[in-house]
């Protein structure tokens, strides 16, 4: 990761003076504050030796490329990368996804995700010109750059926010005292209270801050038809549930 754009703010008013408020670096990016599950269509790499500050620089680099090319690309690092997480100069070890969001949610209850919307995000990601992916990679060095160049474009499920744990399920909404196909699953909100409603069905993927930070998922026709057949519910839906651990 290059540090060429790093600015020194030690001389700013109150920046480092005793008792003054710390100045925020322009490279600090506010990542997800709430615990959520996220589907991302794009590329995935390990953060390696990247610091949180460098992760912010990467996000700004991608934002500039997105604005220039008209591609609504975004950076989604797994886990807690907020002010309550690592300090700016702390090294982070997580998975970093760059691409298009195909759905997110689950903080306060199960959120249904439109499969066709997720598949369109994947189609868009696969249609991104090679020179755009290459331009993003210019901000990376060493192992991260090598991994980026070799990374496939796919659909990934990850979790973001403090103490993140999220599940992508396939089934029907319901309550624990009700009935449904498969097994019952539900999340936990930011106050660690179980969601009133959950999902009867099957788990498609799960990600958490303790690992795995993300999973590759297949929402294509064959995989979808197999899941529907196993449940015996042709109108089952994909649902994200977060669990604040």
> What pLDDT shows up at residue 123?
98
Q: Are residues 223 and 133 in the same domain?
A: no
8 belongs to a structural domain:
no
78 belongs to a structural domain:
yes
242 vs 5: CA distance, rounded Å: 36
237 belongs to a structural domain:
yes
Q: Are residues 152 and 173 in the same domain?
A: no
Q: Is the pTM of this model over 0.75?
A: yes
Q: What are the C-alpha distances in Å from 124 to residues 38, 41, 192?
A: 17, 8, 36
The residue among 160, 188, 213 that closes a domain is: 160
Q: Supply the range of the domain harboring residue 218.
A: 165-242
The tokens of 170 are what?
């396939």
CA 170 centroid distance within chain: 19
Q: Are residues 142 and 205 in the same domain?
A: no
31 belongs to a structural domain:
no
Q: Are residues 206 and 97 in the same domain?
A: no
Measured distance between the N- and C-terminal CA atoms of the chain, rounded to whole angstroms: 31
The C-alpha torsion from 144 through 101 and 110 to 78, rounded to 10°, is: 20
List per-residue pLDDT tens for the chain, 245 residues long. 544 443 332 333 333 444 444 344 444 566 778 899 999 999 999 998 799 999 999 999 999 999 999 999 999 999 988 777 788 889 889 999 999 999 999 999 999 999 999 999 999 999 999 999 999 999 998 889 999 999 999 999 999 998 889 999 999 999 999 999 999 999 998 888 999 999 999 999 999 988 899 999 999 999 999 999 999 998 899 999 998 86
> What pLDDT shows up at residue 30?
64
Burial of residue 33 (CB within 10 Å: 0-12, 13-18, 19+) is middle
2 belongs to a structural domain:
no
Q: Are residues 149 and 238 in the same domain?
A: no
Q: How many domains does the chain have?
A: 2
> What pLDDT shows up at residue 212?
92
190 belongs to a structural domain:
yes
For residue 164, the tally of other CB atoms under 10 A from its CB is 26
Reduced to 3 states, what is the DSSP secondary structure of residue 236?
A: coil
Q: Are residues 114 and 177 in the same domain?
A: no
Q: Are residues 113 and 170 in the same domain?
A: no
234 belongs to a structural domain:
yes
The residue among 160, 181, 208 that closes a domain is: 160
Find tokens 């106050």 and name the residue: 191
Pairing state of beta strands 237-242 and 111-113? antiparallel
The residue among 132, 160, 188 that closes a domain is: 160
Q: Are residues 119 and 190 in the same domain?
A: no
């Amino acid at each position: 990761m290059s540090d060429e754009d790093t600015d020194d703010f030690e001389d700013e008013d109150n920046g480092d003076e005793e008792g003054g408020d710390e100045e925020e670096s322009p490279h600090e990016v506010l990542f997800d504050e709430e615990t959520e599950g996220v589907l991302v269509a794009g590329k995935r790499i390990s953060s390696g030796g990247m610091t949180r500050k460098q992760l912010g620089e990467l996000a700004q680099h991608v934002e500039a490329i997105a604005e220039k090319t008209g591609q609504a690309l975004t950076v989604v690092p797994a886990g807690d990368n907020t002010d309550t997480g690592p300090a700016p100069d702390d090294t982070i070890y997580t998975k970093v996804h760059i691409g298009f969001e195909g759905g997110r949610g689950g903080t306060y209850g199960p959120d249904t995700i439109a499969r066709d919307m997720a598949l369109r995000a994947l189609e868009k990601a696969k249609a991104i010109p090679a020179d755009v992916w290459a331009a993003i990679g210019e901000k990376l060095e060493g192992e991260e750059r090598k991994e980026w160049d070799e990374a496939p474009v796919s659909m990934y499920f990850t979790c973001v926010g403090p103490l993140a744990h999220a599940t992508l399920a396939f089934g029907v909404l319901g309550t624990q005292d009700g009935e449904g196909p498969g097994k019952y699953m539900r999340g936990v909100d930011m106050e660690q209270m179980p969601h009133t409603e959950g999902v009867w069905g099957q788990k498609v993927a799960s990600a958490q801050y303790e690992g795995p930070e993300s999973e590759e998922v297949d929402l294509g026709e064959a995989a979808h038809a197999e899941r529907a057949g196993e449940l015996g519910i042709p109108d089952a839906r994909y649902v994200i549930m977060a669990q604040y651990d």
